[in-house]
Amino acid sequence: MKKLDDEDKYFFSRVNEVKNAIKPDLYGKTESENIKEFTSTSKKDSGIEKLEVESNSKTEKIKNSYPSFVSKDLFLILITTVITILFIINPILNDNFVRTMLGLLLILFIPGYSLIAALFPKKEDLDGIERVALSFGLSIAVTPLIGLILNYTPWGIRLTPILICLSSFTLVMLLIAFIRRRRVPEGEKFFVNFGGFASSIKDQFKGESRTSKILSIILIITILLAISTTVYIILKPKQGESFTEFYILGPNGKASDYPTNLTIGQNGSVIIGIVNHEYQTENYELVISSNGTVMNQQNITLTSGNQTQIPYSFTAGTVGYKNIQFLLYKLPDTNNVYRSLHLYVNMT
């Protein structure tokens, strides 16, 4: 008879253990309880339970590696938009460099970023560099489009309507982006790693080919140049031709209904407008005369870009045609008329 070696002995001993485990014992355990107990013991002996624990811990670590709050970027955009509105509408805050920078963000970046966040809630949709580039591009496209639409509305292209429309567009896009991100599975949501921003950019470059790296660098340089150029143009606009607007409007503030026919003793009224486009503060002298007789004379000071409208009334005197002259002098020169207007009135 063949002699049993150690491996055979171990095999038969395990078989006997199985047989004994699946039979009811004297203590009243059922077969299912014995099988469960034997399986648990076998797992401990073979190290399977240890592997399962390690696997579960790794899964938990991977799950916890994702941020619990993946909308920090949306919250930051929201706060920036609100602060920008406060700096623009508040007279105390709107005369400083911070207002200009926040205004540039609201025009050139924030609308596009909120739109991109609403369209692409998953991190696999676009990488960080592409999102930044498209944010600037779409902002430059969205802002003029909103201005074009406002041009055909009663509000027109003015600061307040543009601010309301851009802010409303941004808030709506942020709400859509937040809702869409909540519906994306935890590991697929896009998020901005503010703590490891530099390292995340390096990781993106590691997985790219040499051509992709070169194109990404060119894209980053182009974005920086575009931003710098836009900021420079807005902060230091090129000076055009210097001049002063000088005009007369009718009594209703329109270029019509001028008092050209008056009866004796009837009053006529006009509005005299002056706008300074000289790129510096100017002192003016306004002289109103009729047939060589000075009827009114006053000095006016306007800073660059400011304007004034002066109501002026006169009474018809003698019968006949009168040439009312509106003469504007730019001081200190009082000898040469800088701008002149004429209003011919028929007195009956």
CA 120 – CA 222 distance, rounded (Å)? 23
Asked if pLDDT for residue 308 goes beyond 80, the answer is yes
Number of domains in the chain: 3
Average the pLDDT over 40-51 and give the result. Answer: 49
- Quote the pLDDT of residue 112: 92
Phi, psi angle pair for 12, to nearest 5°: -65, -30
| 163-176 residue pLDDT tens | 999 999 999 999 99
In 120-209, where does DSSP find H-type helix?
A: 128-151, 159-182, 197-206
Average the pLDDT over 65-80 and give the result. Answer: 74
In a domain? residue 227? yes
Phi, psi angle pair for 25, to nearest 5°: -100, 180
Read off the pTM.
Answer: 0.50
- Quote the pLDDT of residue 119: 92
Clarify whether residues 278 and 300 are in a common domain. Answer: yes
Clarify whether residues 319 and 192 are in a common domain. Answer: no
Clarify whether residues 141 and 230 are in a common domain. Answer: yes
Asked if pLDDT for residue 153 goes beyond 70, the answer is yes
Helix (H, G, I), strand (E, B) or coil at 302: strand
- Quote the pLDDT of residue 166: 93
Of the pLDDT bands very low, low, confident and very high (cuts 50, 70, 90), residue 156 is confident
Clarify whether residues 130 and 221 are in a common domain. Answer: yes
Clarify whether residues 131 and 214 are in a common domain. Answer: yes
Q: In what order do the strands lie in the sheet with 243-249?
A: 243-249, 267-277, 307-315
Residue 175, both tokens: 């709400």
- Quote the pLDDT of residue 69: 52
Please state whether 166 falls in left (phi above 0), alpha (psi between -120 and 50) or beta. Answer: alpha
Higher pLDDT, 257 or 16: 257
Clarify whether residues 94 and 213 are in a common domain. Answer: yes
Of the pLDDT bands very low, low, confident and very high (cuts 50, 70, 90), residue 27 is very low
In a domain? residue 144? yes
Of the pLDDT bands very low, low, confident and very high (cuts 50, 70, 90), residue 110 is very high
Residue 111, both tokens: 């609308």
The answer to whether 292 and 298 have CB atoms below 8 angstroms apart is: no
Higher pLDDT, 280 or 18: 280
Average the pLDDT over 38-63 and give the result. Answer: 49
Clarify whether residues 138 and 92 are in a common domain. Answer: yes
In a domain? residue 226? yes
- Start-to-end CA distance of the chain, whole Å, equals 151
Could you tell me the CATH number of the domain that includes residue 334?
Answer: 2.60.40.10
In a domain? residue 260? yes
Which domain-ending residue is among 235, 252, 280? Answer: 235
In the chain, where does DSSP find H-type helix?
A: 6-22, 31-46, 48-64, 72-89, 97-108, 110-119, 128-151, 159-182, 197-206, 210-235
Q: What residues contact 307, with CB distance under 8 A and at least 6 apart?
A: 245, 273, 274, 275, 276
In a domain? residue 217? yes
- Quote the pLDDT of residue 173: 94
Asked if pLDDT for residue 316 goes beyond 80, the answer is no
Kindly report the number of other CB atoms within 10 A of residue 209's CB atom. 8
- Quote the pLDDT of residue 66: 46
Of the pLDDT bands very low, low, confident and very high (cuts 50, 70, 90), residue 187 is confident
Average the pLDDT over 124-137 and give the result. Answer: 83
Distance, CA of 3 to chain centre: 86
Clarify whether residues 125 and 217 are in a common domain. Answer: yes
Clarify whether residues 92 and 211 are in a common domain. Answer: yes
The domain in which residue 81 lies consists of 72-235
The answer to whether 283 and 331 have CB atoms below 8 angstroms apart is: yes
In a domain? residue 119? yes
Kindly report the number of other CB atoms within 10 A of residue 320's CB atom. 11
Closest CA to 346 of 282, 279, 274, 266: 266
Which domain-ending residue is among 216, 235, 254? Answer: 235
Average the pLDDT over 188-193 and give the result. Answer: 80
- Quote the pLDDT of residue 157: 80
Clarify whether residues 54 and 180 are in a common domain. Answer: no
Clarify whether residues 41 and 108 are in a common domain. Answer: no
Of the pLDDT bands very low, low, confident and very high (cuts 50, 70, 90), residue 38 is very low
Instruction: Point out the least confidently predicted range of 42-56, 211-225, 240-254.
Output: 42-56
Clarify whether residues 160 and 292 are in a common domain. Answer: no
In a domain? residue 1? no
Which domain-ending residue is among 64, 87, 104? Answer: 64
Please, what is the average pLDDT of the chain? 77
In a domain? residue 43? yes
